[in-house]
Structure 1
Amino acid sequence: MNQQIDDNLRRVYADAAKEPVPERFTKLLEQLRKQAADKQDERPEDDS
């Protein structure tokens, strides 16, 4: 019985991992990367 549960859970998660990332998450990641890059650009350069 436990093996059946394990097999079914693996199948469900494998199927979910194959699904494309929703566009709203892709856009959010884009925004976060841009914000991180902007903050990196604002840092004063270290002369050492």
Structure 2
Amino acid sequence: MNITGYSTAVLKGSINTDFSTNELNAEFAKGLENVEPLPNGCAF
């Protein structure tokens, strides 16, 4: 599994207006992987 964290690269737009590349702030949703509800029995 990836141990370097999440990427900040995203696509922004819609089917109607097309998509473009964008960057999220590195702090975006930090810690969200520890917020309940969490899956049971996940090996990762």
Q: What interval of TM-score do these two structures reach, taking the shorter chain for normalisation?
A: under 0.3
Say which structure is richer in strand.
2
TM-score, length basis structure 1 = 0.27
TM-score, length basis structure 2 = 0.27
